């Protein structure tokens, strides 16, 4: 999705009273090249966000970027764990 189009959606959502944006990015959210910019823009409109990830791509740098994008205690980052062992996952 074009980032300008994303911003228009967030602007419209904010104007009609939406409080929370659920970032569903068709696959692993952390792979999206503009994820941090998306979160920052959502937060600039005083909206909350929910993000689901399997956490495999989290590293110190990615965590720092996300935390400095305006995350607050009202936001949710959900970790999707499909199996507690290799055998269960497969």
Task: Answer yes or no: CATH 3.40.50.1100 is held by domain 3-82.
Answer: yes
Task: Count other C-beta atoms under 10 Å from residue 69's C-beta.
Answer: 19
In the three-class reduction of DSSP (H, G, I as helix; E, B as strand; rest coil), residue 58 is classed as: coil
Q: What number of other Cβ atoms are within 10 A of residue 38's Cβ?
A: 23
Q: What is the DSSP letter of 79?
A: E
14 CB-near residues (< 8 Å, 6+ apart): 45, 46, 47
Q: Where are the domains of the chain?
A: 3-82
Over residues 2-37, the pLDDT tens digits come to 999 999 999 999 999 999 999 987 789 999 999 999
State if pTM tops 0.95: no
pLDDT tens per residue across span 48-73: 999 999 899 999 999 999 999 999 99
């Amino acid at each position: 999705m074009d980032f300008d189009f994303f911003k228009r959606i967030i602007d419209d959502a904010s104007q009609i009273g939406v409080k929370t944006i659920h970032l569903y990015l068709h696959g692993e959210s952390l792979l999206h090249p503009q994820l941090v910019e998306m979160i920052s823009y959502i937060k600039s409109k005083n909206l909350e966000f929910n993000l689901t990830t399997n956490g495999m791509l989290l590293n110190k740098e990615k965590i720092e970027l996300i935390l400095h994008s305006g995350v607050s205690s009202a936001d949710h980052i959900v970790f999707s764990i499909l199996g507690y062992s290799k055998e269960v996952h497969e």
